[in-house]
Structure 1
Amino acid sequence: MVSGMFDVSLDEKLSNRFAIEIPTDDDWRVGMIVGPSGSGKSSIAAKAFGSQVYRGFRWPARKAIVDAFPAELETRSILRTLISVGLSSPPAWCKPYRVLSTGEQFRADLAMSLVSPDPLIAFDEYTSVVDRRTAQMGSAALRKSIDAGHIDRQFVAITCHRDVIDWLQPDWVADMSSGQLSRRRLRRPKLEMQIRAGSISDWPLFAKHHYLDPRLNPAARCFLATLDNQPVAFAAVLNHFRKHTFRFTRLVTLPSFQGIGVGGALLDGVAAHLVDNEDAELVSISGSHPAVIHHCNASSRWEFRELKKTGRRASGFFRDHPDWKVSLGRAVASFRYQE
């Protein structure tokens, strides 16, 4: 009836033919199919990659996301994958998917796609549901992990958003608008991070993302990292038993900015400031978070001191305040900053 009313030629209007070249070699790590809605991205991806196209996962309504991954995967492997896509907050790992923020859900989906046994993963509707800043930071975190070898997969982003190209740095781009395939590797835009003195009043924004006690020692000195005047990470230090010695007691990056090195840069920047400008004789950090341990192990500025497999017993302030959490019962690695 509609065809007759509007004189629509169904044979002509209901079919669309298009062709574009997709690389068939293995000399690349990240690819992208980009184009406006209705341009044929998903059809091309289905033809080229078949069952390797990830179109979402039915997350359990009540299970923590770490419990939703395939049972044969070790917990360490799951956490490593979550960290590699920038979902680095232990509290988020223990929540059901449905209560996570949209940005955290996007990263959880990324992680789930990457545990597939397939050597190539094509991710449909890449960054379609997140704000553009989260999309850019998530893309940078993903590329960083791929380049570091933490993700041993070829990855293809299928998206209508061109703003992530510079951040994901694809080795090839299939542009559905022009019908052209281009091979390139762009330089990622630089982020200008500032570090300034903070205060305890800054802590509530970060507290829920930290895996220890949400309270902050009132004697702590606070530091804030910002991007475009927006708070992105928080660090706090305490005097460690004597003058001119400091230890980090808090280091937290907001979820949208995890996975791109912001926390490590803040850690190094504050430690350097304490040594160079405040005559610190010792700056140390002890922690259990895999991202902190990896950063310190990989840095020439941090010297490994010891590993306590069962943590430390409460002493000093913590002995007098047993309601505050200490590291007893969990493995803790300690590092010392050196110039």
Structure 2
Amino acid sequence: MKIAIRHQCDDFDSYRASRVKSLFNVDSGANFNLDIDLPIDANDWQIGVVVGPSGSGKTSIGSAIWGDGAIYRPTWPANTPVIEAIAPAGSFDDVTSALSSVGLGSVPTWLRPYAVLSNGEQFRANLARLISEAPERAVLDEFTSVVDRQIAQVGAGAFAKAWRRGKGQIVLLSCHYDILDWIKPDWVLDSGTGEFSRGWDRPSPRIDVQLWQTDWRHWPRFEPHHYLKMPKMIAATNYVATVDGHLVGHVGVSTRPGMIEARASRLVIMPEWQGAGVGIRFLDAVCDLWARGENRYGKPMRTLFHTSHPGLAAALRRNPRWTQVSANLVGADKVRCMKSMAKSAERSGAGAIGKAGYGGHFRAVQGFRYMGDGD
């Protein structure tokens, strides 16, 4: 594919324009010419990247590849939550899967209109919508330009992984070179030098996660990102995951009656780390500790985990260390639960507990048991 770009404008001779020409020995700024040989006609690729400094012709190159109509420019409804705005005629599970796959797994965010989201959330929402719409060909301009580098890198890697599950082709236009190791594109064109390379042989970045046992002191940082508002777990041992000292994940573990099994809950991964694969690795590591008896009871226990998050449930089903053990469409009888809790409180002398109770919801809760590696 031969690309020839010719941009022209008026050659101004105003005072300041003339002085700039004189000071910097520039004859004219009226012409921009760029000739590129882009050998991508074979269609044996899915993700290409045009990277280079601002003003080097990236947007013009993107428009020339498949025409200006291929540049992805989504418009979002003003008063519609993101979960409704993405592929409204599509499958609910496909949309939630797309949101989770690009790291926008915080359920409260799904209930907000696009306009009120942060820059990082808007960036991921656009990626989720692009994955859901799944065009055969697309060009995405200013890729990762409006978000901080942590969100940019993790989000780029998550998007690349999700996009490759489909069959479409996409060209990403960016001025940032730090995302290439995360995307691992099929080809790269540097618009600054004109250099073209096929494939990306450098290894993916390594994320070193540290695991810490703690109490509830860190929970207030994570609670706003948890999709349920519930009291703290009774007699729970809490764990946090950190990367370079930054809080990344949280989960709590308590025992079930009889001390035969454990129960994990309150799993939260910070939004800027969602989509990097940290969550499942973190949960696996904690459950493995309990399976080996490395807990305050010194007793090996398998761990149960329940979730109604579609993306997390799908990830656990794909994970060979987990097996699904239940799937309930609705919760238990909340009135009966309230009465049972009131009686228990009365017997223990705890006094009135108000109208606390569990259940009564219409939420598909899926249960999983950690099996480990089977050794």
Question: Structures share a fold, TM > 0.5?
Answer: yes
1:30·1:155 contact (CA, 8 Å) conserved in 2?
A: yes
- CA offsets 1:212-271 (integer angstroms, 9 cap, x no match): 115423532211011111011111122112225211121111111111211101110000
Shift of 1:75: 2.1
Equivalent in the alignment of 1:301: 321
1:153 aligns with 2:173: no
The separation in 1 between residues aligned to 2:339 and 2:55, in whole angstroms, is 60
Equivalent in the alignment of 1:54: 72
The separation in 2 between residues aligned to 1:110 and 1:117, in whole angstroms, is 10
2:234·2:254 contact (CA, 8 Å) conserved in 1?
A: no
Q: Secondary structure at the match of 1:236?
A: strand
Equivalent in the alignment of 1:205: 221
Shift of 1:292: 2.0
Shift of 1:166: 0.8
Q: Secondary structure at the match of 1:234?
A: strand
- CA offsets 1:16-39 (integer angstroms, 9 cap, x no match): 111223312221121100011110
List alignment gaps of at least 5 residues for structure 2: 1-10, 342-352
Equivalent in the alignment of 1:311: 331
2:49·2:172 contact (CA, 8 Å) conserved in 1?
A: yes
**Shift >6 Å, 4+ stretches:** 315-318
Q: Secondary structure at the match of 2:128?
A: helix
Distance 1:214 1:42, change over 3 A: farther
The separation in 1 between residues aligned to 2:230 and 2:41, in whole angstroms, is 50
Q: Mapping of 1:215-294 within 5 angstroms?
A: 215-276=231-292, 277-278=294-295, 279-294=299-314
Q: Mapping of 1:1-339 within 5 angstroms?
A: 2-3=12-13, 5=15, 6=18, 12-22=28-38, 23-50=40-67, 51-55=69-73, 57-147=74-164, 149=165, 151-185=166-200, 186-213=202-229, 215-276=231-292, 277-278=294-295, 279-313=299-333, 320=341, 322-323=355-356, 326=359, 328-339=361-372
Read off the aligned partner of 2:311 and give its amino acid letter.
A
The separation in 2 between residues aligned to 1:318 and 1:125, in whole angstroms, is 57
Distance 1:84 1:21, change over 3 A: farther
List alignment gaps of at least 5 residues for structure 1: none
The separation in 2 between residues aligned to 1:95 and 1:234, in whole angstroms, is 24
After TM superposition, the structure 1 stretch with the greater mean CA deviation from structure 2, 10-19 or 190-199, is: 10-19
After TM superposition, the structure 1 stretch with the greater mean CA deviation from structure 2, 14-23 or 1-10, is: 1-10
2:157·2:276 contact (CA, 8 Å) conserved in 1?
A: yes
Shift of 1:181: 1.2
1:175·1:181 contact (CA, 8 Å) conserved in 2?
A: yes
Read off the aligned partner of 2:150 and give its amino acid letter.
R
- CA offsets 1:126-158 (integer angstroms, 9 cap, x no match): 0010000110110121122234x2x44322210
Shift of 1:52: 1.6
Shift of 1:319: 5.1
Distance 1:316 1:202, change over 3 A: farther
The separation in 2 between residues aligned to 1:297 and 1:318, in whole angstroms, is 35
Q: Secondary structure at the match of 2:275?
A: coil
Shift of 1:313: 4.3
Equivalent residues, number: 336
Q: Secondary structure at the match of 1:26?
A: coil
Read off the aligned partner of 1:227 and give its amino acid letter.
V
Shift of 1:117: 5.0
Distance 1:290 1:71, change over 3 A: closer
Read off the aligned partner of 1:304 and give its amino acid letter.
Q
1:271·1:283 contact (CA, 8 Å) conserved in 2?
A: yes
Percent of pairs with identical residues: 33
The separation in 1 between residues aligned to 2:191 and 2:340, in whole angstroms, is 64
After TM superposition, the structure 1 stretch with the greater mean CA deviation from structure 2, 316-325 or 236-245, is: 316-325
Read off the aligned partner of 1:128 and give its amino acid letter.
S
CA RMSD of aligned residues (A): 2.4
The separation in 2 between residues aligned to 1:58 and 1:318, in whole angstroms, is 50
1:3·1:10 contact (CA, 8 Å) conserved in 2?
A: no
Distance 1:74 1:318, change over 3 A: farther
- CA offsets 1:175-205 (integer angstroms, 9 cap, x no match): 0111121012232111101111122111111
2:255·2:261 contact (CA, 8 Å) conserved in 1?
A: yes
TM score, norm. by length of structure 2: 0.83
Structure showing greater Rg: 2
Distance 1:40 1:310, change over 3 A: same
The separation in 2 between residues aligned to 1:52 and 1:272, in whole angstroms, is 47
